Structure 1
Amino acid sequence: MRVVLDVMGGDRAPEVNLAGGADALGRYPTLERLFLVGDKDVIEREAPNHGLDLSDKRVEVVHAPEVVGMSEPGAKTIRRKKQSSISVGMDLVKAGDAQAFVSAGNTGACVAAAQLKLRLIAGIERAGIATGLPNDFGPCHLLDAGANPEAKPSHLLGYAIMGAAFSSGVYGVDKPRVGLMSNGEEDEKGTAFTKQTFAMLKEFEASGRAPFEFVGNIEGHHLFDTKLDVCLCDGFVGNVVLKSCEATAKTLSKSLKASLTASPLRKLGALLARGAFAELKEKMSAEAYGGSPLLGVNGTVIIAHGGSTALAIRNAIRTAVESVDHKVNRHIAEALEMIQRVGQEP
């Protein structure tokens, strides 16, 4: 397994990326090569401070003198900064030198570079970010979580197909359940966009070609308490939902900590229940997921949160390894081929 790590991407670069990379090398033996892409001088100077041995044969430094800032426009900057760590790293995947790309950098730039350099899988109109949320019945993937803010109904149909293939191929779900984010469960609820998408999904399911079960409109709480594998939305809504969930979790955690340390008796209770709190943190923490796959491009691209910790970067690399191992893109391509065959049958 050969993975590219964008060392310069993210709010805490390069420190957390180097530390996360070192941790991943120690934990995942199938990671035969980790390409560290970024400013060579910076990498060589900082790597020893974060437990990363550059003399390790599994490590290769690839110089990229430019950095895409977190606030820069994605597509325009990718075309202008051809020697950025994102562009150079994506080129390694395009050339076949690496099988996956991981970055906590500018999301728009990562998506633009992936679609420009790797191209879309035949039959897919737009790539989408699939972000896992801790549903009571297993991960529910929000798709799209930010790649395509101005989506069309046909784009969401593509997300449904890709999300179902991802759930089947990675999690072994036989008939993934797919819902459409709206402001109510009733069929007539939603905007003109969601109503058009709803009608398209219903028609597609009725044709007998759908590799999923369309459960109709869903609301926010269904993401966590209902058996659901994929939640469809455009990238604007998905990103707002995701960041709202993250902020809510942080606020609750902060409030809970304050309450549990308000008195000696409460501190004792918290100490006795620390195992339960550790389990809850592991289940709810975004760090456990690490990164989100960008589905729909000819290559494995994992996009991590800009504020990722070293643990999140390690898990993003793990997600990259698992995505390649589970042949996610092959599952998507096979699903599209099956749909086309069924559509051609008399």
Structure 2
Amino acid sequence: MSIELISRIIGLIVFGSVGTFFGHNLGIMLQRSLSIEPLPIIVYRIGSAVIFAILGFIITPWITVKPIKSLRKNLSNLSAQTLIFGIIGLVVGLVLTLLLAYPMSLLGPPFGNILPVISAVVLGYLGLITFVARQKELRTFFRIGSRSRASDGGSIDSTSTVDSCRILVDTSTIIDGRIYDIARTGFLPGQLLVPRFVLNELQYVSDSADNLRRQRGRRGMEVLSELQKDPNIPITITDIDVEGVREVDDRLVVLARQLNCPILTNDYNLNRIAELQGVSVLNINELANAVKAILLPGESVEMAIIQDGKEYGQGVGYMEDGTMVVVEDGHDFIGKTIRVTVTKVLQTAAGRMIFAKPD
């Protein structure tokens, strides 16, 4: 039996009892207002009990179970840090109310009775939203204070700082494979966390009926195995999960907010969703674009022209890092390696694009 059905039964009994209690007065009121023939009291009690019981059966979940479920879902989406700062802000607001309560009580009725209650609500709410809204600045302030105390008493343990940094790993990053090379170079400090539901999604892709998806999933399994075998790469498969969320991307975002850690991914949609919710994202594609060699207008480079461009007379070549170079009037040099001069460099969402012309 579900909790919602139990609440409906309890509401039916409670509201029915209330209807029975008020049935007599309700019947007298109806007789006076409608001028109808008086009926036995038991009729009014039964009628009122039935109406109230039906009403209680319908509305009880909306005033008991559903608000609790909604509150529980909202609280599960909040990080522990947000909850702590919210409680601290509420306590600060109530302490200020306590200091102001006695002076306000001396004003006499009705202000002396009303203002302390109003100030408790207003200051408590202001303290809560202020500390939640400014939690990043406050966290930075407390961190700086703790570091200064540590520097006065001795050196800071750098290994504990690295261990406290955690990075959630997305399925797309594991399948991509470049995470192993990046982690091996040491550019990902701290602990790599692979949630169990990400591993389950990777296994689901590996068991797919589609041959391409199956190969990608198995490649991801091999990359994850290589990461675990490398003793210099701290990686952990964790059972941490979130309740009430089914989609893997949504669970990653909620978990990142709760743990206050970034997500490592190259999924564009997950990147956008996480950024909209204030979660930091480490995008491998953006890293790859950032470390590509930069050519400035006027520089010359050897380029092999391998195909036609979109516009008439253009030729297209590629640099070693995969950057596309569009060569004006390069059609006649297809299949040849020539020296070209860069004329323009464009940075797009898909990457860097270079325009050049033959020397």
TM-score by length of 2: 0.22
Higher normalized helix content (fraction of residues): 2
User: If you compute each CA radius of gyration, which structure gives the higher value, 1 or 2?
Assistant: 2
TM-score by length of 1: 0.23
